Chains A and B, each alone.
Chain A
Amino acid sequence: QAALTQPASVSGSPGQSITISCTGTSSDVGTYNLVSWYQQHPGKAPKVMIYEVSKRPSGVSNRFSGSKSGNTASLTISGLQAEDEADYYCCSYASSSTLVFGGGTKVTVL
């Protein structure tokens, strides 16, 4: 149950696009299309932004998109806004009905 690997921090200017990677193994990200992404603002509970690799829940801005290639999933935020500054976590289904999170990425809007 090793954690998925995310960059510690990513930054961008307002209006730019950024991408956060999430690298797992063939036991989780590489085998299952069950990757989700969560946004967490300081002192708040996480909020799901993407599920099933690339699907957006109702109410989530279409500036957020997800993809996957091999053992790596990615979250892209386009048209970066100040309100997007937060921590982001990926999560994948792993074998035997377990889940594993990434270490988290702090997004800074410059």
Chain B
Amino acid sequence: EVQLLESGGGLVQPGGSLRLSCAASGFTFSTYAMSWVRQAPGKGLEWVSLIIGSGGSTYYADSVKGRFTISRDNSKNTLYLQMNSLRVEDTAVYYCAKLGAWWEMDNWGRGALVTVSS
């Protein structure tokens, strides 16, 4: 059974930094691309970032480019999202998701809440 478990969320001041982790199990982690998706309170889903299985290529939404960095440690079956220069509008539940062969997000974690507030 595929399991994804996010951690590292919390309260941070504007301009601060936070690193999210997503521990994966139940599948060959290094074989699959992984993604972060966020959802602001009461709002819709927003794709944030994607990393291919090897970690060699990464992609970002314009809204986070230059501030967020996605990475993975395939030896630890863990996905990361380093978030710098955080803004109030980055407040959201952040989900990690496994990508299937057709770019669908076929498994999701339960999410980690990030609150950016002074």
Q: Does A48 contact B104, Cβ atoms closer than 8 Å?
A: yes
Q: Quick check: B106 and A99 within 8 Å, CB to CB? A: no
Question: Chain A interface secondary structure, helix, strand, loop or mixed?
Answer: strand
Task: Look across to chain A and name the residue whose beta carbon is closest to the beta carbon of B60.
Answer: A98
Residues in chain B near residue A48, CB distance under 8 A:
100, 104-106
Enumerate chain A residues within 8 angstroms of B102, measured Cβ to Cβ. Answer: 34, 36, 51-52, 55
Interface residues of B in 101-118 (CB under 8 A from A): 102-106, 108-111
Set of chain A residues within 8 Å of B100, measured between Cβ atoms: 48, 51
User: How long is the Cα–Cα vector from A103 to B102 in the complex, in angstroms?
Assistant: 21
The answer for the CA separation of A1 and B44 in the assembled complex, in Å, is 15
Q: Which of B45, B59, B63 contacts A46 (CB 8 A)?
A: B45
- In the complex formed, the residue of B with least CB distance to A97 is B59
Q: Check B57 against A97 for contact (C-beta < 8 Å).
A: yes
- Chain A: minimal CB distance from B7 (Å): 15
The 7 closest A-B pairs by CB, nearest first: A51-B104, A104-B44, A36-B104, A45-B108, A99-B47, A52-B102, A101-B45
Interface residues of B, Cβ cutoff 8 Å to A = 35, 37, 44-47, 50, 57, 59-63, 95, 100, 102-106, 108-111
